[in-house]
């Protein structure tokens, strides 16, 4: 049984995602100690500093999606099943920084697919209560684990179907945000593939810094951020950072 981590990274005109990737890979190597495969394109790959042993898979990202008016190349997650060289794969956003080994144990479960449904707002404002913005519980596709097999394949096939008909599903589930979002696409695919009943989840909340929190310090063990006139920090805890300025800290 092979295990590893799959990351997607594509630079855009606005954000040098490869710099965020470099930070993420360093933490994976330090704390999770798992093999890594990065899905990227050649333009991004040329800018990545040497990261030690890392596998690369080259694809051309599907363009067209936007977030806050900026290019957002996040549509290719549905190909994780085909792109992963591992039997059990942990897929992570590159802006999720693993300051612990908490996620590693999830690759040792018997589940076919695990994802978290909840996020924790580190700024203390509960700003990720997404239930108000749709008729379906959102999942956080920031981090998920799948084990190759019939069930996971069915989920990814459904995900592709949802992606291809996203406008229809957005209307059906009355999702407020009309741009393509993996979190909703996965939530819909999981619900549809599981016969509209509950599915297995990880009892972890994704600790997240909202985009209006500015990261002011980034060390090997933790992160400090500023929100309004407050500066806070957390150490030895995994953090998902939504502000893309983290690339330049």
Q: Nearest distance from residue 194's CB to other proteins, in Å?
A: 12
Q: How far is the CB of 241 from other proteins (least distance, A)?
A: 14
* CB burial string 177-188: b at 16+ within 10 A, e below: eeebbbbbbbbb
How near is the Cβ of 81 to other proteins at its closest, in Å? Answer: 21
DSSP state at residue 25: H
Of residues 82 and 110, the one with the C-beta less far from other proteins: 110
Residues at the contact surface with other proteins, assessed by CB under 8 A: 100, 102, 105-106, 108-111, 114, 120, 122-124, 200-205, 207, 229-230, 232, 234, 236-238
If the CB atoms of residues 49 and 126 are measured against other proteins, the closer one turns out to be: 126
Compare residues 63 and 231 and give the one whose CB is closer to other proteins: 231
**Residue 15 or 208 with smaller CB distance to other proteins:** 208
For tokens 């239930």, what's the residue? 131
CA 87 to chain centre: 19
Q: Which residues contact 65 (CB under 8 A, 6 or more apart)?
A: 71, 72, 73, 74, 75, 179, 180
Whole-number minimum distance, CB 237 to other proteins, in Å? 4
Q: Are 80 and 186 in contact (CB under 8 A)?
A: no
> What tokens does 114 get?
């695990």
Full strand arrangement of the beta sheet holding 230-235:
214-218, 222-227, 230-235
Q: How far apart are CA 5 and CA 116, in angstroms?
A: 17
Identify which of residues 106 and 249 has a Cβ nearer to other proteins in the complex: 106
Closest distance to other proteins from the beta carbon of 204 (Å): 6
């Amino acid at each position: 049984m092979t295990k590893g981590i799959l990351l997607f990274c594509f630079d855009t005109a606005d954000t040098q995602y490869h710099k965020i990737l470099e930070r993420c890979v360093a933490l994976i190597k330090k704390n999770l100690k798992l093999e890594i495969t990065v899905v990227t394109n050649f333009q991004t790959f040329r800018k990545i500093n040497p990261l030690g042993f890392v596998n690369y898979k080259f694809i051309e990202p599907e363009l067209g999606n936007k977030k806050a008016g900026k290019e957002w190349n996040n549509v290719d997650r549905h190909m994780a099943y085909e792109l992963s060289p591992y039997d059990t794969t942990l897929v992570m956003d590159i802006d999720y920084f693993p300051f612990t080994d908490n996620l590693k144990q999830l690759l040792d479960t018997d589940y076919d697919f695990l994802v978290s449904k909840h996020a924790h707002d580190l700024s203390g404002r509960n700003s990720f209560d997404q239930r108000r913005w749709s008729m379906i519980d959102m999942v956080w596709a920031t981090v998920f684990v799948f084990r190759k097999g019939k069930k996971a394949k069915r989920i990814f096939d459904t995900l592709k179907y949802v992606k291809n008909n996203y406008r229809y599903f957005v209307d059906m589930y009355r999702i407020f945000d009309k741009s393509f979002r993996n979190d909703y696409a996965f939530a819909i695919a999981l619900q549809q593939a599981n016969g509209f009943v509950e599915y297995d989840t990880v009892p972890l909340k994704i600790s997240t810094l909202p985009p209006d929190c500015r990261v002011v310090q980034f060390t090997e063990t933790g992160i400090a951020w500023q929100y309004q006139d407050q500066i806070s920090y957390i150490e030895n805890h995994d953090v998902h950072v939504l502000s893309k300025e983290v690339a330049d800290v």
